Amino acid sequence: MTQISPLAPEHIVDLPPVAGVRLAATYAAIRYKTPRPDLMLALLDEGTTVAGVFTLSLAASAPVERGRWALKAGGGKARALVVNAGNSNAFTGKSGEKAVDETVAAAAAVAGCKPEEVFVASTGVIGEKLPFEKITAVLPDLAEKAGDGGWDESSRSILTTDTFAKRTFRKVQIGGKTVTLSGFAKGSGMIAPHMGTMLAFLFTDAAIAPDVLQTMLQAANDKSFNAITVDSDTSTSDTALLFATGKAGNASIESLTSEDAETFAAALDSVMLELAHLIIKDGEGASKFVAIEVTGAADDAAARRIGLAIGNSPLVKTAIAGCDPNWGRLVMAVGKAGEKADRDNLAIWIGGVLVAENGEVSPDYREPPTAEYMKGRDIHIRVDVAVGKGEATIWTCDFTKRYIEINADYRS
């Protein structure tokens, strides 16, 4: 929480309460020596539905495996969420599973629910035993304290190397009722230094059936958290959970095709995209926010892979850090993506200016104005690979000396 990212928003919004959700956070001294909130509890009213998406890592943490299980075993119902920062409880073997069991049992006791209605998430150091006693000891106090006003402290309690809190909300009308959707996230790199994890928690008072909620979450996730990259590294703990308490009083959304479903899905897409962009804006060492739009690909999946090849290329990202409109490196990255592209009809725009077309530099291109554009904080790159109608946009940041400092000097 030292030097705030130069890309941080000027104003960090306050989150409004969501009917059916009570929150509290505290300092449980899990790892940090200077007191700061590092543990949160959310209590969810009876009838709350839940959807979740998790890391694809094959070395997923114990809390992630528990979350996947609870989602199935609980039938899409949730009553409590416990999150700690400072220790990710990843690569901790049997002791990691025990820490999850004990935390879940204590949370189920204070929430008065079944273990499969409790979700847990942990972020922080990998490979050290999670001191779960520090968590279970304070859960009764947290449950007592939990209320409408815990949003600020809770959204800060999940941060690790983040330099600012990432949160936003939307209010929409559904079936004549005002529905609130509030969310907060953490992440400063797909995985932060030795402090894994992208986490996002979303709460709404809308009434939505679990299967509909899950489909909406996955669709929004593909367009937001799955479309950003800081350093191409995948955390062992990535988790996004969406809770719907049903307290807004709307007729429950039971199908994806209704107008209500579309209204809510649009709000969800918008909130998750904003949170995803905030994570990029807090990317380790980031000095520029970069949108990479790929068009003309064989299909949308191919466009996505080409976008990620560009967004993950160290040579592209260092060129951007150096304010260099180095389109040769964009061509290189398209070539390595392994997706169909028509080299001799490739076109590239930087900041809307046509830089290359028909497989070579555009005859009208003059570098000085584009070099000037590259000095800005928001960079837009478009590549058309001229083989089809697939398209996708990927967001990333640049790759600076500060990234190396943060990650190489972490322990020194």
Per the annotation, the verdict on 393 as an active-site residue is no
Q: Are 43 and 80 in contact (CB under 8 A)?
A: yes
Smaller CB distance to a copy of itself: residue 13 or 59? 59
The least distance separating a copy of itself from the CB of residue 305, rounded to whole angstroms, comes to 12
| Residues in Cβ contact with 353 at an 8 Å cutoff, skipping those fewer than 6 apart | 365, 369, 370, 373
Closer residue to a copy of itself in complex, CB, 141/405: 405
Task: Give least dist CB 195 to a copy of itself, A.
Answer: 9
The residue from 197, 236, 239, 396 that is catalytic is 197
| One-letter identity of residue 26 | T
Q: What span, in angstroms and rounded, lies between the C-alpha atoms of 49 and 241?
A: 11
**Which amino acid is it at 214?**
Q
Give buried/exposed letters for 140-158 (b at 16+ CB in 10 A, else e). Answer: eebbebbeeebbbbbbbbb
- Provide, rounded to whole angstroms, the least separation between the CB of residue 243 and a copy of itself: 27
Q: How many angstroms separate the CA atoms of 214 and 88, rounded? A: 25
What is the distance between the alpha carbons of residues 96 and 218, in angstroms, rounded to a whole number? Answer: 27
Query: What is the smallest separation between the CB atom of 155 and a copy of itself, expressed in angstroms?
Result: 25
Q: CB-wise, 128 or 222, nearer to a copy of itself?
A: 128
Whole-angstrom Cα distance, residue 224 to residue 393?
A: 10
9 vs 335, which CB is nearer to a copy of itself? 335
The least CB distance from residue 191 to a copy of itself, in Å, is: 6
- Closest distance to a copy of itself from the beta carbon of 409 (Å): 6
**C-alpha–C-alpha distance, residues 315 and 321, integer Å:** 10
Nearer to a copy of itself, 214 or 400 (CB): 400
CB of 175 vs a copy of itself, minimal distance in Å: 42
Residue 167 and residue 152 in contact, taking contact as beta carbons nearer than 8 Å: no
Alpha-carbon gap, residue 33 to 55, rounded angstroms: 29
Instruction: Give 135 or 346: the residue with its C-beta nearer to a copy of itself.
Output: 346
Which residue carries 């001191």 as its tokens?
131
The Cα 224–Cα 266 span in angstroms is 12
Question: Which residue's CB is nearer to a copy of itself, number 58 or number 257?
Answer: 58
CB 306 to a copy of itself: min, Å: 10
> Would you say 140 or 314 has its CB closer to a copy of itself?
314
Catalytic residues: 197
